[in-house]
Amino acid sequence: MPKTTIKKSKIADIQYKQLERFVEIVERGGLADAAKNLGITQQALGMSLAKLESMVGTTLVNRSRGNQTSATEYGEVFLLYARSQINGMEEAVHHMHALMGARAGKVEIGVGETCDVELIAQVLLTFHQQRPDVEINIIEDYSEALLNQLTEGRIDFLCGSVSASNTAPRGIVEEQLYSLQDIIVAREKHPVMKLKRPKLKDLQGYTWLVPRRRPSDWHVIRNAFITEGLEAPAHVIRSDAPEVGTQLMLSSDFLFMTSPAMAGRSYDANHRPILHKVNIDRPTVTRHASLVSMSGRKLNPAAEVLMDEIRRSALELHGS
């Protein structure tokens, strides 16, 4: 009969190699094969098992003729915890090696339209100060373009939005950090900026600027008007050129539906926002800021650490 209580001192004395040897015995089905694979004598392995059973307080392995073994009822339960401990230790060592090894190398990161650039900039600054020998390359673009670069192996990972694309490449792994609702922006002197509570019909006659790579944005805009019983805007300019698009927005009374993260990226010489939010809640779409990587593609240690830092900072700033 197993003992009902085990002294904590005995539990603390259980060693990693004893767990490793116990798992090997069960998986190999015999002391001889297990000892050979571990590179120790069969006698030493038997003594190690006996000592472990003494510490646990029950028989873990049934022994039969020919040194064939199988786990007892209690051994089967103990096996689950032993494997968990071994796997946990391996993961801990792997992570420590990643931390120790993240002092050199190169990281290619993509920054999409939904990403909080202030958060990314602060994380990158701290990362660079701690690891100045790591080469950091940053690419800023729409998520659709960045996803293509990710699948082609030109960037390690990106902070952006998979959900914005209806045809996300296969093998994509998306870890959502937070969500944002798109807003409508215009230049400061746009006529709609004078309206305290503009309605959709007030936006009807203006030209809209939309991303060329994201036709779904124009569908969202048109559907918002149609659902309201209004005719959809008649004029649209499609552009994937942020600088040209910004100049167009400043030069004329255009409207643009965009993530608030992207809207707040351009400021004038006095650090004032170039484009301003129109006080209306439609049309809109939900964007997810996510860490995006490729399934099965192992990141180098520096990239792993940088992803961890972005993940941690996003959690602190935006919550779960």
Give bridge partners of residue 139 from the DSSP assignment. Answer: 110
Q: Convert the pLDDT of each residue in 100-151 to its tens digit.
A: 777 778 999 999 888 888 899 999 999 999 999 899 999 998 888 899 899 9
CA distances from 109 to 27, 57, 83, 157, 298 (A): 42, 53, 35, 5, 15
Question: What whole-number distance in Å separates Cα of residue 181 and Cα of residue 282?
Answer: 10
Residue 318 has pLDDT above 90, yes or no: no
Residue 270 has pLDDT above 60, yes or no: no
What confidence score (pLDDT) does residue 167 get? 57
CATH of 183-284, one of 2.40.50.150, 3.40.190.10, 1.10.8.350, 3.90.470.10: 3.40.190.10
Q: Convert the pLDDT of each residue in 158-168 to its tens digit.
A: 998 885 444 56
Give phi and psi for 23, each to the nearest 5: -60, -40
pTM of the model: 0.60
What CATH number has the domain spanning 105-180+288-318? 3.40.190.10
3-state class of 104 per DSSP? coil
- Supply 279's token pair: 């006080």
CATH of 8-100, one of 1.10.3720.10, 1.10.10.10, 1.10.287.3510, 1.10.287.70: 1.10.10.10
Q: Are 176 and 160 in contact (CB under 8 A)?
A: no
